[in-house]
Every structure is written in C-alpha cells, then in structure tokens.
C-alpha cells in the first residue's frame, strides 16, 4: 500500500506538480488514485472521461465506489454504435452514477467540415479532432484534472504511461496504468458488471462505428481500431487540451 498524496491547496494558477503526485501514487490502487484526485482538486474540479466501451465498466465501478457523483464526460460523436449508447444508460443505472454529461460535436463545425459524413474515411485525424478532441477540450474547461482508463498492457503509446501526468493544461490521472487484464476481469466478476453488448460478437475495443472492427484470434484489443491505418489514437491523449 502506497502513501497517498497529501492534501494540497489548489488554485486556478497553481496545480500541484504531476511528478510529485505520480511518485506518491505510483503503487496505489485505482480507488486510491481516484480518491487522491478528488481530495487534491475537489470533486467539482475533476472529471472522469469514459467511452463506455468494452472495458469502461471497471473504471466506472471503481469510481462509483469512491464517489458516484464525480462528473463523467461521455463523447457522443455521432458515429457511435447504438449498443454503446444503450450500454451507457445501463451502466448509469447499474452503478448509480449521478452526473454523466453526454457531449456532442459542434453542429456548425460538422456542417462546415464534414457535411457528407465521409471525413472518417478521407481524413480520420480531422474527424477525430472535430468529433472528439475539440468537444472534450470544451467539456474539460471547468476542470483542473481528469481521469481516464488507459492501461500499460494496451501497448503502443500507452506502454509507459505514468499514474499522474500533466497534459499541458491540467492534471491527468491514469488509475488503471498498473492494472493487468486479469485484474480488470476480476473487477467485472466481483462487481457483477454487464459486458458491452458487442463483446460477444468479437469486438475487443469499441469506438466509433466506421473505425472499429472485430479482433482476430491473437490480436491485441486495439488492433481492431482504425484497421489498415497507421493511426492508433483518436487524439484526446496526444493533443494538448487547451
């Protein structure tokens, strides 16, 4: 058990140092990381960002056990599977979440940059920018920190993520950085959490419908995202959130 981060006075111009928090929480449990984020910044200044995807219920369950009133930001991109939208509603009810905010892209930006809904094919980075990155940046403006569900075992750019980092604007907490796939499965089992409806049909990672595909045997979970392209991230974890 690690020593948790001490209570720190936080003002809008003075966030605690991410590296100090990371050292303090390096071996903390996911629940301890979330509790430290709330204690350090205040519940009204930290949000959990969730896709309500195939592994999202585990993080949402841990968060709900700490405080079900922590704000949850959900990006409704306009390209999500109907199963994902239904799963969001199922988990809100099952976990007693009280502040889930479904954020949509700016309609003017969509009509100007993606009038034919084909941007996902011609320029997926631009599509992610107007449907995910820009809406999330707007949604996070009131917050001094955010919580996400990235894990080191997912590989790629996620293999070396810290528990706490500075995204250039606010603190970013990665409470599942150290967890294993088996620990995620245990949270589902112990919490009797429902799986995402698309898992049964072979989806290991679910994002927007045009850019998600079923994973073959032996593939990593995220191999089904943006299949056939060099792209591996939507941009919310690689672009500065102004």
- Spans of all domains in the chain: 18-224
Q: What is the pTM of this model?
A: 0.86
Question: Looking at residue 228, what is its pLDDT?
Answer: 64
Q: Which helix (H) or strand (E) holds 126?
A: helix 124-128
Is 135 in contact with 36 (CB distance < 8 Å)? no
User: 78-96: string of b/e by CB count within 10 Å (b at 16+)?
Assistant: ebbbebbeebbebbbebbe
DSSP state of 228: T
Q: Is 12 exposed, middle or buried (0-12, 13-18, 19+ CB in 10 A)?
A: exposed
Beta carbons within 8 Å of 88's beta carbon, 6+ residues apart? 52, 74, 100, 102
Given this model, what pLDDT does residue 36 score? 97
**Alpha helices by DSSP H, 26-106:** 30-41, 56-66, 82-95
Question: Would you state the pLDDT for residue 240?
Answer: 56
pLDDT, residue 58, reads 97
Residues of the chain whose pLDDT is less than 70? 1-15, 155, 157-159, 219-222, 224, 226-228, 230-242
E-strand spans in 21-163?
46-49, 72-75, 100-103, 145-147
Query: Nearest 5°: CA angle at 52, between 50 and 54?
Result: 120
> 216: which DSSP letter?
P
Considering only CA atoms, which of 168, 145, 162 is closest in space to residue 238?
Answer: 168
Burial of residue 177, with CB atoms counted within 10 A of its CB: 0-12 exposed, 13-18 middle, 19 or more buried: buried
Q: In the CATH scheme, what is the code of domain 18-224?
A: 3.40.50.620
Whether 234 is catalytic is yes
Which of the following is catalytic: 127, 128, 208, 234? 234
- The Cα–Cα gap between 65 and 108 comes to 39
């Amino acid at each position: 058990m690690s020593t948790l981060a001490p209570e720190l006075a936080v003002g809008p111009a003075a966030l605690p140092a991410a590296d100090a928090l990371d050292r303090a929480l390096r071996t903390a449990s996911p629940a301890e990381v979330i509790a430290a984020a709330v204690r350090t910044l205040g519940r009204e200044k930290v949000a959990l960002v969730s896709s309500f995807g195939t592994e999202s219920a585990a993080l949402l369950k841990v968060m709900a056990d700490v405080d079900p009133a922590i704000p949850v930001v959900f990006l409704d991109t306009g390209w999500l599977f109907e199963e994902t939208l239904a799963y969001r509603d199922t988990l809100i009810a099952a976990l007693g979440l009280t502040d889930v905010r479904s954020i949509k892209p700016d309609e003017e930006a969509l009509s100007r940059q993606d009038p034919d809904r084909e941007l996902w094919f011609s320029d997926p980075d631009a599509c992610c920018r107007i449907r995910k990155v820009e809406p999330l940046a707007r949604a996070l403006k009131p917050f001094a920190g955010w919580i996400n569900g990235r894990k080191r075992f997912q590989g790629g750019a996620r293999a070396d993520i810290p528990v706490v980092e500075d995204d250039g604007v606010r603190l970013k907490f990665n409470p599942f950085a150290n967890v294993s796939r088996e620990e995620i499965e245990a949270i589902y089992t112990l919490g009797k959490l429902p799986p995402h409806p698309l898992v049964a049909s072979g989806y290991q990672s679910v994002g927007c419908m045009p850019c998600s595909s079923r994973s073959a045997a032996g593939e990593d979970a995220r191999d089904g995202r943006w299949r056939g392209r060099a792209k591996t991230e939507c941009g919310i974890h690689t672009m500065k959130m102004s």
